[in-house]
Amino acid sequence: MSGGWLEPWQQAVAALPFEWTEFEFMRLALLAVLIIAPLLGALGTVVVANRLAFFSEAVGHAAFTGIALGVILGLGNPLWSMVLFSLFLTVFVAWVRRRGGLSSDTAIGLVMAFTVSLGIVILSRGGDFARYTKFLIGDMLGISAGDIASLGLLAVAVLSVFLVFFNRLLLASVSPALARSRMRRPGAAELLFAGTLAVTVTFSLPWIGILVINALLILPAATARNLARSTAEFFAWAVAVAVLAGVAGLIVSFYASTATGATIVLVAMGIYLLTLVGAGGFRRES
Amino acid sequence: MRGLGVSRRGVPVLENVDLHLHCGELTAVVGENGAGKTTLVRCLLGEIPHEGEVHFLDAAHRRPDSPVIGYVPQHASFDRDAPISVLDLFAASLAARPACLGVSRGVLDQATGGLARSGSVHLLHRRLGTLSGGELQRVLLALALTPVPNILVLDEPMSGVDHSGREKFYELLSRLRREYDLAVLLVSHDLASLARFADRMVFLDRRIVCEGTPAEVLRDPRVREAFSLEGLLS
């Protein structure tokens, strides 16, 4: 897709009086950050509340096997094999949990170790692993207008699912028994959310990086917990912190010549620590 | 409920349970751990497949298709630091609008009205994690009464609540079932309190071992044995 539709954005950002806005890759990266960061921040509220943090970490790491499958199948862009594999993993983990044979962190830990190893073994055949390190740390500055369009569509779809099922997920986080008594099939809502989460993480991976993506889900929500007293405040703070950390991290990474994903995470971590100290003081007072 | 039965992996958990719940009556179900009490509750809520029949009859002995069942769960083991207020809990249960986008005026009124029934309006804006065990159960009771149900089901609502909190809760429950003519099914271990507040008592051990007034049931040697044994073990 050509980037003509982005022309108004390009002009508006370029008009800002900063050095970094003079570069097209930075203007595109800024737009990508403004889509990905709040999206991950919003999903993160449910990830934290419903204890899915380890699951989302595993989905990110399982991308190794997703990429490997793409290579074996001869796909030019392994994104679709990554997405399909992450969905398979979602269903598989849900199935293991449902059978109840293993506690879910043990089950997820085993699956993660297996998928990471399998992916690395396949991708490293013939000493060619270096080609895939871009997935490890992400490449936000390499994003194209077409990629941004796909991310935008993804964000709309994901947020719709998120908002429709939010109440069910919230009630299930307090008491699964209560949720079952008042809602139709909260278990199905959780599975659907996990699938949506898996797709979102996988789509964001090439830009953020496998190694740090989970932090972008968890840190804004963890920060928001230090500040919020209600669900609406929790959600608003998580999105706000994600946007702030995303934009600040992008700009810092430009001037410091560092990987964008990891820089954003460090900024988010800084904000988290500030609120932790602040919340400690607040709790002592109240 | 007639001829109710549930098996798990071929092992019967409940067998041939016949039980009538009447409006305005508090029926207590007692029994040891693993006696099938929670399974019975889940059958009534329509959550698990079972043998036998569950019918709901109104005053004219017609069968309303779907009675409203209010449910108070066992002491919930949620994250105490979660930023969820009492109002959020009502909003998530009652509203179509996602609670993360704020709470409408209508839900606010419903929540206030519901909390008034259990005398806990002052808890509306408190975070769930800051409530005491007794306060939380009063909030969950208020939620179960919004909208006012035909049947109220409570599954060990008072585990983890101190003695005075329990007494207050049972008094409240006793008053509400008369006020709203509720059929109440209460699963509990509090024999002393139940003896005072329940109208009927059922001793369950996979099937109904005995039932009657609390005084009758508590005199039964099988019940006495089961609970003194339980007392020794704990």
Statement: residue A281 has pLDDT above 60: no
- pLDDT, position B234: 41
Contact B73/A173, CB-based, under 8 Å?
Answer: no
Q: Is residue A264 domain-resident?
A: no
- pLDDT, position A2: 60
Contact A225/B81, CB-based, under 8 Å?
Answer: yes
Answer yes or no: pTM beyond 0.95. no
Contacts of A174 in chain B (CB under 8 A): 76, 78, 82, 84, 89, 128
| Cα gap B90→A163, rounded to integer Å | 17
* Structure-token pair, residue B197: 């507040």
Contact A231/B128, CB-based, under 8 Å?
Answer: no
Backbone phi and psi for residue A143, each to the nearest 5 degrees, phi listed first: -75, 145
| Cα gap A170→B125, rounded to integer Å | 17
pLDDT (mean) for A13-42: 94
- pLDDT, position B64: 61
- pLDDT, position A131: 83
Statement: residue B92 has pLDDT above 50: yes
pLDDT (mean) for B70-86: 86
In Å, how far is A210's CA from the nearest CA of chain B?
A: 28
Statement: residue B58 has pLDDT above 80: no
Please state, for a pLDDT cut of 70, what percent of chain A lies above it: 95
Contacts of B45 in chain A (CB under 8 A): 180-181
pLDDT (mean) for A252-278: 95
Interface check A134 vs B, CB under 8 A: no
**B14 pairs with which residues across the strands?**
B6
How many domains is chain A built from? Answer: 1
Contacts of B100 in chain A (CB under 8 A): 42, 45, 163, 166, 170, 231-232, 234-235
Contacts of A168 in chain B (CB under 8 A): 92
User: What number of CA atoms fall less than 13 Å from residue A135's CA on the CB side?
Assistant: 24
A42, A175, A229: residue with CB nearest B127: A229
* Structure-token pair, residue A74: 């001869």
pLDDT band at residue B61, thresholds of 50, 70 and 90?
Answer: low
Q: What is the dihedral of CA B76, B82, B83, B85, to 10 degrees?
A: 10
Q: Is residue A150 domain-resident?
A: yes
pLDDT in tens, A72-115: 888 888 889 999 999 999 998 888 777 765 667 888 888 899 99
Contact A170/B95, CB-based, under 8 Å?
Answer: no
Chain B's closest residue to A234, CA to CA, is B83
Residues 6+ apart with CB under 8 A from A143: A25, A28, A29, A32, A207
How high is the ipTM of this complex?
A: 0.87
Task: Answer with the residue of higher pLDDT: A97 or A187.
Answer: A187
Contact B45/A181, CB-based, under 8 Å?
Answer: yes
Q: Is residue A278 domain-resident?
A: no
Contacts of A228 in chain B (CB under 8 A): 83
Interface check A175 vs B, CB under 8 A: yes
- pLDDT, position B83: 93
**Strands of the sheet with B2-8, listed across from one edge:** B11-17, B2-8, B51-53
The overall average pLDDT reported for chain B is 85
Is residue B64 a contact partner of residue B56, using CB atoms and an 8 Å limit? yes
- pLDDT, position A286: 43
In Å, how far is B92's CA from the nearest CA of chain A?
A: 4
Statement: residue B232 has pLDDT above 70: no
Chain B's closest residue to A166, CA to CA, is B98
- pLDDT, position A144: 93
* Structure-token pair, residue A97: 């949990």
User: Which residue shows structure tokens 């370029």?
Assistant: A14
pLDDT (mean) for B126-155: 91
Backbone phi and psi for residue B34, each to the nearest 5 degrees, phi listed first: 80, 10
| Cα gap A213→A260, rounded to integer Å | 11
Statement: residue A247 has pLDDT above 90: yes
Interface check A225 vs B, CB under 8 A: yes
| Cα gap A60→B127, rounded to integer Å | 33
- pLDDT, position B62: 64
| Cα gap B185→B169, rounded to integer Å | 15
B92, B128, B143: residue with CB nearest A167: B92
Q: Is residue A141 domain-resident?
A: yes
Q: Which amino acid is at A16?
A: L
Q: Is residue A282 domain-resident?
A: no
Please state, for a pLDDT cut of 90, what percent of chain A lies above it: 69
Q: The domain containing residue A74 runs over which residues? A: 22-210
Q: Which domain CATH number covers A88?
A: 1.10.3470.10
Q: Is residue A37 domain-resident?
A: yes
Q: Is residue A240 domain-resident?
A: no
Is residue B120 a contact partner of residue B99, using CB atoms and an 8 Å limit? no
pLDDT in tens, A116-145: 999 999 999 878 888 888 888 999 999 999
